[in-house]
Structure 1
Amino acid sequence: MTEASPAGTIATRLVALAARPDDRWSITFLDSHGAVFERCGAAELAARAARVAGFLERERAPGAPVLLVFQPGVDFLVAFLACQWSGRLAVPINPPRRHRLIQRLQAVAADSGATVALTGGGVAEQSALWQADSAELAAIRWQDVGDIDSDPAQATPLRAVDPAATCFIQYTSGSTALPKGVEVSHANLMADMARMEAAWELSPSSTMVTWLPAFHDLGLIFGLLQTLYSGCPVVQMAPNSFLQRPVLWLEAISRFRGTHTAAPSFAYDLCARRIPPEAREGLDLSSLVMAMNAAEPIDPQVMEDFAGVFGPHGFGRETFAPAYGLAESTLAVTASPVGVAPLLFALDAAALEAGRIVEAGASSRRLVIPGSGAPLADVSIAIADPETGRRQPAGRVGEIWVGGPTIARGYWRRPEESAATFGVRLAGEDDPTGYLRTGDLGAMIGDELCVTGRIKDLIILSGANHYPQDIERVAQGAHPALRAGGGAAFGLVGEPGGEQVVLVQELERTQRRTDPAPLFSAISAAVWQTLELQLARIVLVEPGAVLRTSSGKIQRAANRQAWREGALPVIAEWRSARQQALEETRGAAPGAHASSSGQASALEGWLRDWLARRLALPVSAVPLDRGLGELGLTSLDAVDLAGALGTHLGQALPQTLAFDHPTVAALVAHLSGSPPASLPQTPPQIPAPPPGAGGDLDELLSMIEGGGRGHD
Structure 2
Amino acid sequence: MVHTLVDSLTAHASRHPDRTAYRYLVTGDCDGEIQEISYGRLARRTKAVAAWLQERGLTGSRAMLLYPPGLEFVSAFLGCLAAGVVAVPGVPPQGRSHNHRALTRMKRLIADADVKVVLGGREVLASLGQLAEHLPELDDMARKASEDIPDGAADGWLENSPPADSVAFLQYTSGSTSAPRGVMVTHANLLDNERLVTERMGHTPDVLAEYGHEMFVSWLPVYHDMGLIGPVLNTVHLGATATLFSPLHFLQRPERWLEAVTRYRPHTSGGPNFAYELCLKHAGPALLDRLDLSGWKVAFNGAEPVRAATLRRFADTFAPAGFARRALYPCYGLAEATLMVTGGSVHTEPVLLRAEDDGPHAGALDAAAVGCGRPGPGLTVAIADPERGTELPEGETGEIWVAGASVAKGYWRNALATRQTFRATLPGHEGRFLRTGDLGFLRDGELFVTGRLKDLIVIDGRNHYPQDLELSAELSHPALRPGCTAAFAVDGGTEGERPVVVAEVAPDAEGEAEKIADQVRSAVGEAHGLSLREVVLVRPGTIPKTSSGKIQRRATRAAYLDGTLAVIGVPDRE
Other-structure match for 2:294: 286
Other-structure match for 2:188: 187
Other-structure match for 1:123: 124
State how 1:524-535 maps to structure 2 within 5 Å. none
In the TM superposition, what is the alpha-carbon distance from 1:279 to its structure 2 partner? 2.5
Show structure 1 runs of 5+ residues with no match. Answer: 349-356, 460-488, 501-532, 548-557, 565-574, 587-628, 636-658, 660-692, 707-712
In the TM superposition, what is the alpha-carbon distance from 1:497 to its structure 2 partner? 1.7
| Alignment CA distance shift 1:306-1:236 (3 Å) | same
Using the alignment, how far apart are the partners of 1:704 and 1:60 within structure 2? 41
In the TM superposition, what is the alpha-carbon distance from 1:94 to its structure 2 partner? 0.7
Other-structure match for 1:340: 348
Using the alignment, how far apart are the partners of 2:124 and 2:227 within structure 1? 20
- 1:190-243 per-residue CA deviation (whole Å, 9 max, x = no partner) reads 111112111212144342100000000000010100011111100000000000
SS in 2 for 1:495: helix
Using the alignment, how far apart are the partners of 2:551 and 2:406 within structure 1? 18
Q: Note if contact 2:48-2:155 (Cα within 8 Å) is conserved in structure 1.
A: yes
Q: Note if contact 1:347-1:359 (Cα within 8 Å) is conserved in structure 2.
A: no
Q: Does 1:217 align with 2:225?
A: yes
Quick one: which of 559, 578, 588 aligns to 2:498? 559
- 1:322-351 per-residue CA deviation (whole Å, 9 max, x = no partner) reads 100111111100010110000000114xxx
State how 1:662-701 maps to structure 2 within 5 Å. 699-701=546-548
Using the alignment, how far apart are the partners of 2:431 and 2:25 within structure 1? 44
- 1:169-189 per-residue CA deviation (whole Å, 9 max, x = no partner) reads 100002532120000111111
Using the alignment, how far apart are the partners of 2:486 and 2:175 within structure 1? 20
| Alignment CA distance shift 1:135-1:266 (3 Å) | same
Opposite residue 64 of structure 2, the aligned amino acid is L
Opposite residue 78 of structure 1, the aligned amino acid is S
Show structure 2 runs of 5+ residues with no match. Answer: 458-464, 478-482, 502-508, 521-534, 554-574
SS in 2 for 1:131: coil
In the TM superposition, what is the alpha-carbon distance from 1:148 to its structure 2 partner? 1.1
In the TM superposition, what is the alpha-carbon distance from 1:278 to its structure 2 partner? 1.3
TM superposition score normalised by structure 1:
0.66
Using the alignment, how far apart are the partners of 2:8 and 2:295 within structure 1? 26
Using the alignment, how far apart are the partners of 2:494 and 2:71 within structure 1? 53
Task: Count residues in correspondence.
Answer: 503
In the TM superposition, what is the alpha-carbon distance from 1:131 to its structure 2 partner? 2.0
Q: Does 1:241 align with 2:227?
A: no
Other-structure match for 2:403: 403
Quick one: which of 11, 17, 22 aligns to 1:16? 11
- 1:494-548 per-residue CA deviation (whole Å, 9 max, x = no partner) reads 2232699xxxxxxxxxxxxxxxxxxxxxxxxxxxxxxxx9778999987x5585x
Using the alignment, how far apart are the partners of 2:342 and 2:488 within structure 1? 38
State how 1:156-235 maps to structure 2 within 5 Å. 156-174=157-175, 176-202=177-203, 203=205, 204=208, 205-235=213-243
Q: Note if contact 2:166-2:186 (Cα within 8 Å) is conserved in structure 1.
A: yes
Q: Does 1:497 align with 2:486?
A: no
- 1:90-128 per-residue CA deviation (whole Å, 9 max, x = no partner) reads 100111342221111111111000121100142121010
State how 1:89-108 maps to structure 2 within 5 Å. 89-97=86-94, 98-100=97-99, 101-108=102-109
Using the alignment, how far apart are the partners of 1:33 and 1:139 within structure 2? 37
SS in 1 for 2:471: coil
Using the alignment, how far apart are the partners of 1:163 and 1:111 within structure 2? 23
In the TM superposition, what is the alpha-carbon distance from 1:581 to its structure 2 partner? 4.3
Q: Does 1:38 align with 2:35?
A: yes
| Alignment CA distance shift 1:175-1:416 (3 Å) | closer
Using the alignment, how far apart are the partners of 1:83 and 1:121 within structure 2? 18
Using the alignment, how far apart are the partners of 2:319 and 2:185 within structure 1? 39
Other-structure match for 1:610: none
SS in 1 for 2:315: helix
Q: Does 1:378 align with 2:284?
A: no
Using the alignment, how far apart are the partners of 1:176 and 1:120 within structure 2? 25
State how 1:436-455 maps to structure 2 within 5 Å. 436-455=434-453
SS in 1 for 2:180: coil
In the TM superposition, what is the alpha-carbon distance from 1:700 to its structure 2 partner? 4.4
Using the alignment, how far apart are the partners of 2:491 and 2:340 within structure 1? 43
Opposite residue 387 of structure 1, the aligned amino acid is E
State how 1:501-650 maps to structure 2 within 5 Å. 544=493, 547=496, 558-560=497-499, 580-582=514-516, 632-635=538-541
Using the alignment, how far apart are the partners of 1:379 and 1:369 within structure 2? 23
SS in 1 for 2:184: strand
Other-structure match for 1:83: 80
| Alignment CA distance shift 1:269-1:29 (3 Å) | same
In the TM superposition, what is the alpha-carbon distance from 1:138 to its structure 2 partner? 3.2
Larger radius of gyration: 1
Task: Report which structure shows greater RCO (CA 8 Å, sep ≥6).
Answer: 1
SS in 2 for 1:184: strand
Other-structure match for 1:369: 369
Other-structure match for 1:351: none
In the TM superposition, what is the alpha-carbon distance from 1:146 to its structure 2 partner? 1.4
Other-structure match for 1:330: 338
Using the alignment, how far apart are the partners of 2:487 and 2:184 within structure 1? 39
Other-structure match for 1:423: 423
State the superposition RMSD in angstroms: 3.2
SS in 1 for 2:44: helix
TM superposition score normalised by structure 2:
0.81
Aligned-pair identity (%): 33
Q: Note if contact 1:395-1:443 (Cα within 8 Å) is conserved in structure 2.
A: yes
